[in-house]
Structure 1
Amino acid sequence: MLKHLQTFAGHQNPVYALVNTDQPGLFLSAGNDKGVVEWSLANMAFVRVKIPVQSSVYCLHRYQHQLFIGERSGAFSVFDLNTSKIVARVNAHTKPIFDIQTIQRKNELLTTGEDGTVAVWSLVDFKEIYRFQVAYDTVRCIAVSPDETEIAFGCKDHLIRIYNLTDYSLKQALEGHSLPVTSLSYHPNNHYLISGSRDAQLKIWTLPNYALLQTIPAHMFTIYNIAFHPNLPYFATSSQDKSIKLWDAENFKLYKILSIEKAGVGHTHSINKIIWSADGKYLISTGDDRKVMIWEFNEA
């Protein structure tokens, strides 16, 4: 179902972020190199260093033709993919930014990170609209419900906090993980929320009430990413245990383990980020070993 196709070895330091561009077959990676790198899936090759940045990059987020770059410094930059220019740089937080998301129906951008606050920005002029304290320590990840009515925050204090997107009021706090929550993703059809943690467990929360449906002992160490396939009922997880796992999104059956031990090829250190290509043909992974790996997907 997933097999190793290519390894890119251009980075000199750990890599934390991946994102597809607005051009089919192109994606970007970034980390401690202080540069955002462009790669081609069509040619399976390095393209160029797309953007120099001032500090380490912990997250990348694209909305339409704009790329948002979240930095260790607490600032984020806005890069216009059409003009290849930085159009804004905002000193958003006093500590590193770990996640950035957009709320399309409100035309808003959200940033969060180590200071525990969530800042809301206008996508028109990148001015701050609102700021609220979600936790008194790190907020590691954000997940936006597909209907954009609710938003989930994964926190270092072991909690998942659910907020209403209409007014950013707290709806409820989910207690289940025993260690910091490090990954979150809503099912594409809003069937459930799935969370991953430093406790190495996946938890499935039913919607709309967020009752705990199932706990899966998924990995050996921290689960850093949960990525749903763009059009088929699968999701992948990546972990500090150097493995990627492919799961059935309907019954949570484990289909595939990608690791050096199981597949003979894989990452040698923590896998910090995974994404699917826009067409779903490839899974892309990266991490502390400085490598970007391409895995070809076949449903058969």
Structure 2
Amino acid sequence: MNRFEVRKKYTLSGHQNPIFAVESGSARSTLFTAGNDKGVVEWDLESGKFTKILLPVKSSVYSLHRIPSSNLLTVGERSGLVTIVDFEKQHIVARLQHHEKPVFGIQAFSTKTEMIVSSEDGTLSVWDTTNFKLLYHFSVSKETVRCIALNRKEDILAVGSKDSMIRIFQAADYSRLQELDAHSAAITSLTFSPDDEHLLTGGRDAQLNIFETGHFQLKKNVTAHMFSIYGIVYHPSLPLFLTASRDKSIKIWRANDYSLIKNISLEKGYESHRLSINNISWIDDQTFVSVSDDKTAIVWEINLI
């Protein structure tokens, strides 16, 4: 892989409290952020400026997720409420009040009209994305279900819980396939590799685990950070991925051997976050965004050199 440099393009300021969630709109220039504030904020990435409050909320937002091939943004709150808002028409499509405890994960399919929601109540709920009616709900753990991930083929679902367990389900009927016990603390992030051959998991134990998806055997363990890993995201096209952590750092890793390429942090001389980095997302091949307890979102640019 060619060498590259990372630079800060914009700092998006305006939130009054920690930011927990970030999601892009249907246009590359639109970004949404939310957290322990009174609303979901829309930003213009071309100018790096605030656009508007998209949706006022009554409790903290822990999850934002855009339903594929749509203008619908799902907003998961601490109260358990999930709101679906059309961000083009600025219209609330539905309010889903099923969970009575915080919603941490939301994942919609592109291959079928279903959406999965995970909660602190230890359950998953499955919704029809054509009419937003509840299809199923079932218990996963006695503790918080923190994060969920679909593989690219959308036939396997991974679920991470506070009890340190990762549970694997068939996405067709939500039957449980396997349980993985390789972390010593809560699971805080999950993602599948672009080729679906590996599942990457991050925990409050600061460990990054790589499982082969054939039989979900542990392939590699890396002590990736000093504290919880809150985000793992693959680059849209290059063989690398990012991790973000409570230790205030973003790390860039090679996807072929899981070796470290860069450590983006104040300690390494970058104008980065001063507090926990709670989420991270790619916008395009050259741009990613991180959000933090320090009340800012930072737009980063990668340039090949």
- Partner of 2:94, secondary structure, is strand
- Determine which of 20, 24, 30 is the counterpart of 1:20: 24
Where does residue 58 of structure 2 map in the other structure?
54
Corresponding letter in the other structure for 1:252: Y
1:288 and 2:300 equivalent? no
- Determine which of 73, 76, 80 is the counterpart of 1:70: 76
Where does residue 8 of structure 2 map in the other structure?
4
Where does residue 190 of structure 1 map in the other structure?
196
> Take 1:183 and 1:58, find their aligned partners in 2: how far apart are those partners?
13
Where does residue 201 of structure 1 map in the other structure?
207
Corresponding letter in the other structure for 2:212: T
- Determine which of 293, 297, 300 is the counterpart of 2:302: 297
Where does residue 87 of structure 2 map in the other structure?
81
- Partner of 1:82, secondary structure, is coil
> Take 2:238 and 2:222, find their aligned partners in 1: how far apart are those partners?
21
1:257–1:263 Cα contact (<8 Å) kept: no
TM normalised by structure 2 equals 0.96
- Partner of 2:88, secondary structure, is coil
Matched residues, percent identical?
44
Instruction: List structure 1 segments (4+ residues) > 6 angstroms apart after TM superposition.
Output: none
> Take 2:270 and 2:229, find their aligned partners in 1: how far apart are those partners?
21
> Take 2:197 and 2:270, find their aligned partners in 1: how far apart are those partners?
35
> Take 1:4 and 1:36, find their aligned partners in 2: how far apart are those partners?
23
RMSD: 1.0
Q: Which runs of 5+ in 2 are unaligned?
A: none
Where does residue 39 of structure 1 map in the other structure?
43
1:270–1:287 Cα contact (<8 Å) kept: yes
> Take 2:8 and 2:226, find their aligned partners in 1: how far apart are those partners?
22
Q: Which runs of 5+ in 1 are unaligned?
A: none
- Determine which of 266, 273, 280 is the counterpart of 1:267: 273
> Take 1:177 and 1:142, find their aligned partners in 2: how far apart are those partners?
16
Q: How many residues align?
A: 299
1:134-173 → structure 2 map (5 Å cutoff): 134-173=140-179
Once the two structures are TM-superposed, the CA of residue 2 in structure 1 deviates from its matched residue by: 1.8
> Take 2:172 and 2:298, find their aligned partners in 1: how far apart are those partners?
39
Where does residue 255 of structure 2 map in the other structure?
249
2:63–2:76 Cα contact (<8 Å) kept: yes
2:54–2:87 Cα contact (<8 Å) kept: no
Once the two structures are TM-superposed, the CA of residue 30 in structure 1 deviates from its matched residue by: 0.4
> Take 1:114 and 1:212, find their aligned partners in 2: how far apart are those partners?
27
